[in-house]
């Protein structure tokens, strides 16, 4: 069974509550789920959020649109994925993040089709990005997830879910590439400028075609070239870079025989 697991929380450091910010009258997460539901390769969609009280509104929203929601540790996102996969009985996991409301069901299907051909534990369009930031999609086996859950120790590996899989030689991996390198485009939401761009895109394209795709967005941005300048100054994967800095603190504490952060997964 192939399950899309969407990680989401309301306690974002840079833009708190972003997953529930309204896009055309619906929370942003709802617009993303609306698009993910059109992916033909998925058997199940589940949102993985936290036990933190701040995420209760997110849970209530998921229940209102009949989407299963699994709650786990706030910071150990890998633990959330492991729990969600267990709850729904997933054999293949498609990882999505709740700050990407422009995710493209066509990209999801093409990537999952590649995974289904066999030969790889992990197929992703993020190993060497060629798609716009915001169309990130990863597909991997339940076995790979279980191994990462048991073995990953660094803070970055627990927070960013697939970091252990990407960096381990124990797994076979494939980078799913676009025909043209569009990795310089930013269609994810971390800052107010990101949301402004996404809001404009939805307001322009959704009324005519709710399931507008990547090509529709590219055509729109060609007509409104200045729009991409709204968030061009924001770097890709800034959150991951911060996690790597936390890894250094974690490893230094280990070397100095200081008490490190407890490892609840052991």
> CB within 8 A of 239, min separation 6: which ones?
160, 190
Question: CA nearest 198: which of 113, 112, 103, 102?
Answer: 102
Q: What distance in Å separates the CA atoms of residue 30 and residue 150, rounded to the nearest whole number? A: 32
Residue 186 lies in a domain: yes
> Is residue 265 situated within a structural domain?
no
DSSP 178-190: -SS--TT-B-S-S
Which DSSP symbol is given to 102?
A: T
Q: What is the pLDDT along the chain (266 residues), one digit of tens a residue?
A: 999 999 999 999 899 999 999 999 999 999 999 999 999 999 999 999 999 999 999 999 999 999 999 999 999 999 999 999 999 999 999 999 999 999 999 999 999 999 999 999 999 999 999 999 999 999 999 999 999 999 999 999 999 999 999 999 999 999 999 999 999 999 999 999 999 999 999 999 999 999 999 999 999 999 999 999 999 999 887 665 555 555 565 555 565 655 545 455 43
Pairing between strand 2-7 and 92-97? parallel
Asked whether residue 264 is domain-assigned, the answer is no
pLDDT of residue 262: 47
133 occurs within a structural domain: yes
* Cα distances (Å, whole numbers) of residue 111 to 70, 125, 206, 236, 263: 25, 8, 24, 21, 33
Cα 137 from Cα 6, distance rounded (Å): 11
By the 8 A CB rule, do 5 and 48 touch? yes
Place of tokens 């409301």: 101
Is 64 part of any domain?
Answer: yes
pLDDT of residue 82: 99
CA–CA separation, 78 vs 109, rounded Å? 23
How many separate domains does the chain show? 1
* Integer Cα distance of 243 and 61 in angstroms: 29
Q: Is the dihedral of CA 27, 28, 31, 33 positive or negative?
A: negative
CATH classification of the domain holding 45: 3.90.550.10
Burial label, 35 (beta-carbon count in 10 A; 0-12, 13-18, 19+): buried
pTM of the model: 0.90
Which domain covers residue 128, as residue numbers?
A: 2-255
Residue 78 lies in a domain: yes
* Distances from the Cα of 214 to the Cα of 77, 102, 108, angstroms: 28, 8, 12
Q: Tell me, what's the pLDDT at 254?
A: 62
- Euclidean distance between CA atoms 241 and 217, whole angstroms: 28
- For residue 262, is it within any domain? no
Q: Quick one: pLDDT at residue 13?
A: 87
Q: What is the DSSP letter of 154?
A: S
The answer to whether 151 and 78 are in contact (CB under 8 A) is no
Whether residue 263 is contained in a domain is answered as no
């Amino acid at each position: 069974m192939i399950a899309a697991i969407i990680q989401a929380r309301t306690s974002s450091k840079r833009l708190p509550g972003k997953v529930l910010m309204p896009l055309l009258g619906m929370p942003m997460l709802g617009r993303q789920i609306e698009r993910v539901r059109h992916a033909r390769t998925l058997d199940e969609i589940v949102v993985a959020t936290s036990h933190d009280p701040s995420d209760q509104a997110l849970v209530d929203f998921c229940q209102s649109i009949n989407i299963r929601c699994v709650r786990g540790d706030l910071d150990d996102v890998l633990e959330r994925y492991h729990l969600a996969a267990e709850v729904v009985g997933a054999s293949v996991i498609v990882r999505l993040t709740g700050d990407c409301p422009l995710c493209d069901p066509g990209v999801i299907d093409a990537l999952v089709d590649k995974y289904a051909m066999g030969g790889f534990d992990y197929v992703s369009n993020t190993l060497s990005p060629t798609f716009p930031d915001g169309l990130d999609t990863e597909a991997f086996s339940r076995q790979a997830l279980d191994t990462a859950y048991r073995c990953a120790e660094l803070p970055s590996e627990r927070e960013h879910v697939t970091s252990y899989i990407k960096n381990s030689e124990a797994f076979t991996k494939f980078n799913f590439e676009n025909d043209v390198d569009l990795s310089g485009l930013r269609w994810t939401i971390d800052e107010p400028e990101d949301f402004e761009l996404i809001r404009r895109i939805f307001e322009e394209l959704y009324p005519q075609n709710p399931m507008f795709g990547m090509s529709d967005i590219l055509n729109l941005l060609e007509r409104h070239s200045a729009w991409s300048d709204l968030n061009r100054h924001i770097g890709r994967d800034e959150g991951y870079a911060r996690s790597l800095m936390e890894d250094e603190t974690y490893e230094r504490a280990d070397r100095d025989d200081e008490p490190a952060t407890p490892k609840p997964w052991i």
